[in-house]
Amino acid sequence: MSEFEQKVLKLLEEINGKLDSLLKGGPVTSSPSPASSASTPAATMDSEISRPKPSELVEKQKEEERMQEKPPIEGRRVCPECGGTSFATHEDRSQVLHQMGGVKIYAKKYVCKSCGYEY
């Protein structure tokens, strides 16, 4: 085996080792990893994005507040007492919401199945 062939073999072994560590996700000390420099392009990208006007920001904040004030969608109700999400619904016959043509619509009562909290 010539000296050149031995050198090539040694290089191939080194490359193999590096590939192994790359595949394992281990640290590669010899070459800079692309992940470490990822924050730099992101920072430059940020300055390129046109900043919204202050008034638009306020509008957006108001919108977000409105979203939070909205009651949770049916079935996604969360118990204020224990944070449970399963409820039984009952008609609260002491509370008539609506009456039309003899048909009464009663208020609904939600009872937390975990702690029994009613509302």
- Looking at the Cβ atoms of 28 and 115, the one nearer to Zn ion is 115
| 20, 63, 64, 81: residue in contact with Zn ion (rule CB under 5 A) | 81
Q: Please tell me the distance from the alpha carbon of residue 111 to that of residue 34, in angstroms, as a whole number.
A: 54
- 114 lies in the site for Zn ion, by CB under 5 A: yes
Give least dist CB 109 to Zn ion, A: 14
- 87 lies in the site for Zn ion, by CB under 5 A: no
Within 10 angstroms of residue 16's Cβ, the number of other Cβ atoms is: 10
SS3 105: strand
φ/ψ (deg, to 5) at 28: -110, 110
- Looking at the Cβ atoms of 9 and 82, the one nearer to Zn ion is 82
Give least dist CB 80 to Zn ion, A: 8
Give least dist CB 107 to Zn ion, A: 19
Handedness of CA 57, 63, 69, 74 (dihedral sign): negative
Q: In the 8-state DSSP scheme, what is residue 74?
A: T
Task: Enumerate binding residues for Zn ion (CB under 5 A).
Answer: 79, 81-82, 84, 112, 114-115, 117
